[in-house]
A and B are shown apart, each in its own frame.
Chain A
Amino acid sequence: MQKPTSDDVRPNIRGDIVTLIDLALSIGWEGVREPSISRILYLAGVLYSFMYSDKRNPFSEHYHFSVEPTGPYSNDVKSSITFLDSNEYISRIKENIYALGTNPLPHISTLPDHEIKKQWMKTILYILGTYGEGKIYEFVIRDPQYQDNMERNLISEINIGPDNESLRTLNQFKSSFEESLGTKAKQIDANKYLELYFEYVFSKVLKGEIKL
């Protein structure tokens, strides 16, 4: 069951969706599929605290996802897409695929945490972009926190806060690297760990060699 969302956070979600679509278009996507919007926002939220461990997670404050067979689902994302589409801030170019609309979303740059969220979404999207949009579903449904909710058949909200299962796994991944690489591991920053995480763990996970 998702928590009801106050109207206060809806502008933030709308701003994130427009930003996300804008970034995706800049790397050559013709648009973003509706399920991919939720999936990317979910990954951005669940992994945020790995990169910014000393900061509050604005995604966990704004988003409430639940488990659906097609991936994380949020009523607020769904209704925000409808709002943005009907006001032509975004435009449905094909069944379920959205590009930017004819109207620019007003005041987007003044939304709280806009710039830091934009940079973070860019980081996530550039990593995902090297695998292609089609792989995002596989990344999400194998995400440890998502798996945890699925396996326990939890209908409650997925935890994307600082104590979530995905972060725990990512930190264990980092510990394994530190253990095996010793002092050399100090040369690897959080950004690179994140890339390695996707590259090594997920590529192995997808091949069934590693259990998260």
Chain B
Amino acid sequence: MSIHSPEFVKLIQAKTDEVMQRTASGVRATITFKALHAILTSYQERRPDKNNVYVLMISNTNLSALQIDTLSDEIANMLDRALHTCNHIEIDSKVSIIQAASKSFSDSSKARLTYTEMSRSDGMSIFFFNEDGITTFVEGYDDGRTIFFEEAERKAYRKKKDISEIEDVIVDYRSKLKEQNTYRKFFVPKVTLIRLFGKKSYNANKHLLINSPEDAFRDDLLAFLSEKIRATFNFGREFLLESENRLDIWTEDEKGKFYFIEVKWIGESINKNDNEAGTSYSSNYIRKNAVRQVLGYINELIRDWKKTVKVGYLAVFDARKVRDGDSLSDISQATFEYDLAPFRAYFHKIPDFIVDNIHPN
């Protein structure tokens, strides 16, 4: 993007409110606020423990009375001392501590909301320190330098795996599929089965999936990957392919390498009226249709979207009542046009995700 380009103008347009608020803020524009911000930045740079999370607050009235030119040492000494025992500190115009406490929030959004509200309603200027630097809250707005206001969330984020470890994460997903809270949302509830098949026969039909279960499978896998991998997983919308299909799950790493997962299922689902068995798919569907579809997507992404495709996965949820092995244990079992053969190199079939309705409600 160039500074002269329409994209840059659009970028500013999208941020009009933010820009206007930032520039309209009387407090941020003051030399005292800027100097205090610079002093605190310098202080934070010198601290060896940059991942320490703490907050300095000062009312805007006290801020305006701060004799900032001579206070940098006093501010540093005050913080050094106060941080031994506290992480939320409010000072007055003489850099004396008005109140100090140890606080934590259950999550970042609550913390952010609290600081925003304090800056708006209580007239406080708030400096939030963490390893991203200093995020300021003034007159109801923050300057967006960090997204982590709660340290546990950053730690959880750090524990996330890199996208290159996606296949390890997929292995972990198999365990989750055995949890009742996970698998039961894919199947027809017990109450419906009893209504349809009676108390004696419902057990023989507990393998029936909900109507159109593909969305539930996709959403569950998407949520799991997002929780475990440091990447933004998306579905659909932005990739309406020429074939008018949408990618189920996709992401790009920081180098622009593209990953996607096509989600399919085999087994039997209930019809849309919830009154009898509806659609069913077998391994044949995977071998004759799904592989061709994934290879076609890879072709379109490389050719039309100019994407550097790393891998296109085919994930199949297997909810069959009777199983006869993996839906595709080898790509030689699949049929597809000769033109698509070069894209096999980018294709990977994940061994079937087995889903069983062991304890229907």
Segment from A26-34, A74-82, A152-160 that makes contact with B: A26-34
Q: Judging by beta carbons under 8 Å apart, are B1 and A28 in contact?
A: no
Residues of A within 8 A of B (CB): 25-30, 122, 125-127, 129-134, 169, 172-173, 176-177, 179-181, 184, 187-188, 191-192, 196, 200-201, 204, 209-212
Of A188, A192, A196, A210, which is within 8 A of B2 by CB?
Answer: A210
Among B20, B38, B68, B134, residue most surrounded by chain A Cβ atoms (within 10 Å): B38
Contact residues in B for A192 (Cβ distance below 8 Å) = 23, 29
Contact residues in B for A27 (Cβ distance below 8 Å) = 35, 38-39, 42, 72
Of B9, B39, B133, which is within 8 A of A180 by CB?
Answer: B9
> In whole angstroms, how far apart are the Cα atoms of A31 and B13 in the complex?
40
Q: Judging by beta carbons under 8 Å apart, are A211 and B19 in contact?
A: no
Contact residues in B for A212 (Cβ distance below 8 Å) = 2-3
Q: Is B98 an interface residue (CB 8 A)?
A: no
Contact residues in A for B76 (Cβ distance below 8 Å) = 28
B1-16 Cβ-contact flags toward A at 8 Å (1 or 0): 1111000111011001
Of B1, B19, B22, B34, which is within 8 A of A127 by CB?
Answer: B34
B126-165 Cβ-contact flags toward A at 8 Å (1 or 0): 0000000110000000000000000000000000000000
Residues of B within 8 A of A (CB): 1-4, 8-10, 12-13, 16, 19-20, 22-24, 29, 31, 34-35, 37-43, 45-46, 68-70, 72-73, 75-76, 133-134
Q: Judging by beta carbons under 8 Å apart, are A28 and B20 in contact?
A: no
Taking A28-B76, A201-B3 as known contacts, 7 extra A-B pairs with beta carbons closer than 8 A to each other, sorted by chain A number, are A28-B42, A131-B41, A184-B20, A187-B20, A210-B1, A211-B3, A212-B3
* Shortest Cβ gap from A84 to chain B (Å): 22
Of A30, A122, A133, A184, which is within 8 A of B16 by CB?
Answer: A184
Q: Judging by beta carbons under 8 Å apart, are A196 and B19 in contact?
A: yes
Give 4 closest A-B pairs by Cβ, nearest first.
A129-B38, A28-B72, A28-B42, A27-B38
Q: List 26 A-B contacts (CB under 8 A).
A: A26-B35, A26-B70, A27-B42, A28-B38, A28-B73, A125-B38, A126-B31, A126-B34, A126-B35, A127-B34, A129-B34, A129-B39, A130-B34, A130-B37, A130-B134, A132-B45, A134-B45, A169-B3, A173-B3, A176-B8, A179-B9, A181-B16, A181-B19, A184-B16, A187-B23, A187-B24
Contact residues in B for A191 (Cβ distance below 8 Å) = 29
Contact residues in B for A134 (Cβ distance below 8 Å) = 45
* Shortest Cβ gap from A21 to chain B (Å): 14
Contact residues in B for A176 (Cβ distance below 8 Å) = 3-4, 8-9, 12
Of B9, B24, B41, B69, which is within 8 A of A129 by CB?
Answer: B41
* Shortest Cβ gap from A128 to chain B (Å): 8
* Shortest Cβ gap from B4 to chain A (Å): 6
* Shortest Cβ gap from B103 to chain A (Å): 25
